[in-house]
């Protein structure tokens, strides 16, 4: 596609539920990144993929969070046993090569609200 | 880890005024990007500028890597320039992981 797309755009769930957030990167981009943005803050890194593998998952806050990219294109961020503190905007970005030192292009985000 | 500090945190301008936003970072970087986050939350790329100077219309940016700062200039501001401006950096040994500053919230009044 022309840009990075994310679905759903908004998600409301109840505490304790499981959610999946999807990211479609720019066609042909090797690298895919997930960030989380809380209200009034800058985005914070969660995880990045080089192809199908997670090259750096140091930003995942705990083991309730994990992400996959099985075919090297679409990625899914999965959150188990959601907590109210997980409420944030989840942003996805992609870049052509993933070796660093290149522009990252961001999607519109998924706004997650945990009640 | 690397620290990224942006100033000022907030800025209010009259339409037509010029402004300078600053980004300081605490270590050497191999990527620096400026973004504009519009009121709908979309992060829009403004510049990829690990060093040097670039211009795009009314916007320009300068990064002095040796002194660890970058400046974003907005000239003849318009109400559509309102939003939050973020600086984000990437260290050379950390792949594509971007570290964002806290942002500068700009409000341009008609």
| B86/A42 Cβ within 8 A | yes
Residue B16, preceding bond cis, omega within 30 degrees?
no
Q: B77 to chain A nearest CA, in Å? A: 23
Q: A88 to chain B nearest CA, in Å? A: 12
Average pLDDT on A18-41 reads 96
How large a percentage of chain A has pLDDT more than 90?
A: 90
Q: Which of B48, B34, B28 is nearest to B92 (CA)?
A: B28
- Taking only the tens place, the pLDDT of each residue in B46-79 is 999 999 999 999 999 999 999 999 999 999 999 9
Residue for token pair 């300081």: B24
- Residues 42 to 61 of B: which have CB under 8 A from any A CB? 42-43, 45, 48, 50
| B98/A104 Cβ within 8 A | yes
- Taking only the tens place, the pLDDT of each residue in A85-94 is 999 999 999 9
Give all domains of chain A, ordered by start, each with its CATH number.
5-114 (2.60.40.10)
When CB atoms are compared, the residue of B48, B95, B102 closest to A41 is B102
Average pLDDT on B12-16 reads 97
Residue A37 to residue B91: CA distance in whole angstroms: 20
For residue A13, the model assigns a pLDDT of: 97
B84: domain CATH number is 2.60.40.10
Q: Which two tokens stand for residue B17?
A: 């005024």
A57 pLDDT higher than 70: yes
When CB atoms are compared, the residue of A44, A91, A95 closest to B43 is A91
Question: Strands (DSSP E) along chain B, which ranges?
Answer: 4-7, 10-14, 19-25, 31-37, 43-48, 52-56, 59-64, 69-74, 83-90, 99-100, 104-109
Band of residue A77 on the pLDDT scale cut at 50, 70, 90:
very high
Band of residue A1 on the pLDDT scale cut at 50, 70, 90:
low
Structural domain that includes position B15: 4-109
Indicate the number of domains in chain B: 1
Rg for chain A, CA atoms, rounded:
13
Cα B94-B97-B100 angle, rounded to 5 deg = 125
């Amino acid at each position: 596609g022309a840009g990075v797309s994310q679905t759903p755009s908004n998600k409301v769930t109840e505490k304790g539920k499981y959610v999946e957030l999807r990211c479609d990167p720019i066609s042909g981009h090797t690298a895919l990144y997930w960030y989380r943005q809380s209200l009034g803050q800058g985005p914070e890194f969660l995880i990045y993929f080089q192809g199908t593998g997670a090259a750096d998952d140091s930003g995942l806050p705990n083991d309730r969070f994990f992400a996959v990219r099985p075919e090297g294109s679409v990625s899914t961020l999965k959150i188990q046993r959601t907590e109210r503190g997980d409420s944030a905007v989840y942003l996805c970005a992609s870049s052509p090569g993933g070796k660093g030192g290149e522009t990252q292009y961001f999607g519109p985000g998924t706004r997650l609200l945990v009640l | 880890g690397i620290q990224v500090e942006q100033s000022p945190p907030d800025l209010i301008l009259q339409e037509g005024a010029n402004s300078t936003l600053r980004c300081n970072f605490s270590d050497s970087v191999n990527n620096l990007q400026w973004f504009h986050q519009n009121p709908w939350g979309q992060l829009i790329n403004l510049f990829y500028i690990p060093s040097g100077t670039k211009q795009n219309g009314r916007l320009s940016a300068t990064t002095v890597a040796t002194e660890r700062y970058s400046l974003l200039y907005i000239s003849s501001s318009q109400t559509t320039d309102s939003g939050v401006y973020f600086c984000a950096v990437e260290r050379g040994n950390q792949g594509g992981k971007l570290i964002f500053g806290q942002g500068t919230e700009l409000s341009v009044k008609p």
